[in-house]
């Protein structure tokens, strides 16, 4: 039965940046389909606890881990904390990211370091930590949350957009190496999604560029749109999908 392939019963999933937005949506969807959930937050544990209560209401196990992925050694520390909860992680969703809007002439060294460490370095190091165990057991799912900015870069997010493109290359490289070990590696690239990040103050691009940043559907997406695709990619239904970049963007990448 096709429906059975979407079941995550008996699996444990870590979703980074899951105290709100897309990460929260994915965590709740995975819990709905039976996965035990490890939530991750950077600083605000109160938000994560609210999500944890929602997950508990669904009837699966849930834990919270706090870690600032912009710090050196954070990925190894996170891995150690997960190892204290479960013997083996089945699903890793790397959603946490740092986005520091600024005109390209005003980007500081600190802006670069925070975004590189959070968006790229920690992503690679989390893969290094968790992928070998998945390969050893013969089943695993790694999903990075990219961005439509891989092809429609916003002028005020030059570093963020460049790093999302770099992560996609990382995904394709690792997917090739793990394809015969039962581990899939994919990238889900959202467009404009209704999350708290939309409230951030972002310098407005000039009109000729702004037009190409409009979503053809004319609508905002929501976290559930991303969660549905994440469920496909991280369940048995996605067994034959790896190394892919899949947009959930209302056509913005066209």
Q: What is the pLDDT along the chain (254 residues), one digit of tens a residue?
A: 798 999 999 999 999 999 999 999 999 999 999 999 999 999 879 999 999 999 999 999 999 999 999 999 999 999 999 999 999 999 999 999 999 999 999 999 999 999 999 999 999 999 999 999 999 999 999 999 999 999 999 999 999 999 999 999 999 999 999 999 999 999 999 999 988 776 667 777 767 666 666 788 888 899 999 999 999 999 999 999 999 999 999 998 98
Q: Would you call 160 a catalytic residue per the annotation?
A: yes
Residue 50 structure tokens: 């609210």
Task: Give the pLDDT of residue 212.
Answer: 67
Helix ranges (DSSP H) in 186-222? 207-210
CA–CA distance, 37 with 14 (Å, rounded to integer) = 6
3 state DSSP class of 61:
coil
Indicate which residue of 33, 79, 160, 247 is catalytic.
160
CA–CA distance, 27 with 65 (Å, rounded to integer) = 14
Strand partners, 94: 144
3 state DSSP class of 140:
strand
CA–CA distance, 98 with 190 (Å, rounded to integer) = 15
Query: Taking the model in full, what pTM does it have?
Result: 0.95
Instruction: Tell how strand 140-145 and strand 12-15 pair up.
Output: unpaired
Q: Which segments within 159-235 are labelled E, that is strand?
A: 183-190
With CA atoms as reference, report the closest residue to 95 among 134, 173, 37: 37
Task: Give the pLDDT of residue 240.
Answer: 98
CA–CA distance, 210 with 219 (Å, rounded to integer) = 16
Task: Give the pLDDT of residue 217.
Answer: 83
Task: Give the pLDDT of residue 89.
Answer: 98
**Residues for the chain: how many in total?**
254
Torsion of Cα atoms, 179 then 164 then 75 then 221, to 10°: -90
Residue 52 structure tokens: 């944890």
- Kind and range of the H or E element at 40? strand 36-41
DSSP string, 229-250: HHHHHHSGGGTT--S-EEEEST
């Amino acid at each position: 039965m096709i429906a059975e392939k979407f079941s995550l019963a008996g699996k444990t999933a870590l979703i980074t940046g899951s105290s709100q937005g897309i990460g929260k949506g994915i965590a709740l969807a995975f819990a709905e389909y039976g996965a035990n959930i490890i939530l991750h937050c950077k600083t605000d544990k109160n938000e994560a606890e609210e999500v944890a209560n929602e997950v508990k209401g669904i009837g699966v196990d849930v834990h919270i881990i706090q870690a600032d992925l912009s710090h050196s050694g954070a990925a190894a520390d996170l891995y150690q904390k997960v190892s204290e909860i479960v013997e083996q992680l089945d699903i890793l969703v790397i959603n946490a990211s740092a986005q520091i809007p600024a005109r390209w002439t005003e980007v500081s060294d600190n802006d670069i370091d925070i975004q590189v460490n959070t968006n790229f370095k920690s992503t690679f190091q989390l893969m290094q930590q968790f992928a070998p165990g998945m390969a050893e057991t013969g089943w695993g799912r790694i999903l990075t949350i990219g961005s439509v900015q891989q092809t429609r870069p916003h002028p005020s997010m030059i570093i963020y957009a460049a790093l999302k493109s770099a992560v996609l290359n990382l995904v394709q490289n690792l997917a090739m190496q793990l394809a015969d070990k039962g581990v899939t590696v994919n990238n889900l690239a959202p467009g404009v999604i209704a999350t708290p990040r939309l409230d951030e103050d972002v310098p407005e691009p000039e009109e000729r560029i702004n037009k190409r940043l409009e979503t053809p559907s004319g609508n905002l997406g929501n976290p559930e749109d991303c969660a549905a695709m994440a469920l496909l990619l991280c369940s048995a239904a996605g067994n034959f999908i790896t190394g892919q970049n899949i947009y959930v963007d209302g056509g913005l990448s066209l």
